[in-house]
Amino acid sequence: MALNSYIAGQSAWGVTELNARGADLAALISREWTAPVDDVLVQESTVSWSVAAEIIDSIPVGRWTTYGDVASLAGTHPVPLGGYISRTPIRHAWRVLQAAGTVSPGFRWIPGSEHEGADVRAVLESEGIEFDLDGRAAGTARVNIAELAELAGIEFDDAGSMDFGDEQGDEEVVFTLDGIERRLTREAVRDRLRSATPGKITTYWVEVDGIVWPVKQALAVALGIEATQFQSWTARQRLSTLGFEIGGE
């Protein structure tokens, strides 16, 4: 507001005056705020990125894990973890995949890395990991969070205290759909999906108890309604609020 005060007090508002004031304001802003420094990494105070690097380094050849599991053990979220991996030289970073077992579209080789320029899937296949026709790595090769903690030498509460979804999600969401108030809990989602079979994933997915589902199918089964009754963003929002990992486009 203080920056705009002198502008608000002007009486002339022609094109020439507006251009001049815009230039003055830009100059003032550039003096008041320092530009970002490219080579300085702003880190989350509660995250030990060295621990994240050690966790990733511990992934054995022929195995893979997820951004979510690494993030849980390191005390962060999959999104900043992905950003950290993209700009930091870390051994075995290519062995960290999305929850569906697919290569993250945002993954980039660090310049000078041993596999720079190579196809990530091809590198993983050369290490012994098989992929299906949808580009998903074999679940049998996945390192789950408990095993990952053991490999990295990190104490892990098997009851779930280190599970990202359990820590971050609400216990229940209440919302209105088709004029009807609906309630949904994490346990209800888990229980109802156990008796169903996941369909083919084409866009967005949600991971529930290690199984990846099309996000609309998961919410439809959990609520006992048709997937045509709501939009994809509704499913993503509700399931994310409950703490489930969402991915896709």
Residue 249: the pLDDT is: 54
**Would you state the structure tokens that stand for residue 160, as one six-digit string?**
């779930």
Confidence grade of residue 146 (pLDDT, cut at 50, 70, 90): confident
Question: Taking the complete model, does pTM exceed 0.75, yes or no?
Answer: no
Q: 186: exposed, middle or buried (C-beta count within 10 Å: 0-12, 13-18, 19+)? A: buried
Averaged pLDDT score across all residues of the chain: 79
Confidence grade of residue 124 (pLDDT, cut at 50, 70, 90): very high
| Strand 65-66 with 172-177, pairing | unpaired
Residue pLDDT, tens place only, 26-72: 665 555 454 444 443 444 444 578 889 999 999 999 999 998 888 87
Residue 58: the pLDDT is: 95
Q: Which domains does the chain have, with CATH numbers?
A: 49-152 (1.10.10.10), 169-247 (no CATH)
